[in-house]
A and B are shown apart, each in its own frame.
Chain A
């Protein structure tokens, strides 16, 4: 096991609602990245948080936002949910301070269904 945890495991929301997903990173890691994985696709990078600040962002609209806390845990918030937001949301934990190792370790994911 990676030691990365996510909650909740499953969630059903209706279009237009807001959702908050949570992630606890692996001990010793200071970076959390969030990904969206639609069925049959590879994960798509949403954004990354490093030392409580956004450190990079993929091609996702501003209604996808996040936070990182002093203990390096993180939240992903999605406003004004759309049907296409239905996907598996993955967080990945890593450390940017350890040489050139950019290996990321994933949590089990939150499966979001928007109806």
Chain B
């Protein structure tokens, strides 16, 4: 079983729509969770950390469900500039010594 699994997509979504991605992780001892965004041939950029209580940043909402071991990202009122690959990321151990474990990413295309 892969450590972090995501639906690769692509998700083709009209501008203004709401889109949601889920991601599952295998290690129940995982400590920290993140969503990164990666544009084509660029480096990953931190979109948001994900907390147990859920968190929101503008149009973006992230949720963590530890019991089911999944993380979600919701994008409301999607913009053309939201087109990118969204990487679900888990830190398997406290302190970061094992590095971040990335999913393969979900490709999102916002259509005008």
Contact = CB atoms under 8 A, between A and B. Distances in A.
Instruction: Please determine whether chains A and B interact with each other in the same assembly.
Output: yes
Interface of A: 2, 31, 33, 35, 40-48, 50, 55-56, 58, 88, 90, 92, 94, 96, 100-109
Contacts of A108: 42-43
Q: How large is the interface on B (under 10, 10 to 19, 20 to 34, 35 or more residues)?
A: 20 to 34
B46 A105 contact: yes
Interface string B5-47: 0000000000000000000000000011010000001111110
Interface of B: 4, 31-32, 34, 41-46, 49, 87, 91, 94-105
Given A42-B105, A103-B49, A48 B43 contact: no
Contacts of A41: 104
Contacts of A58: 98-99
B95 A107 contact: no
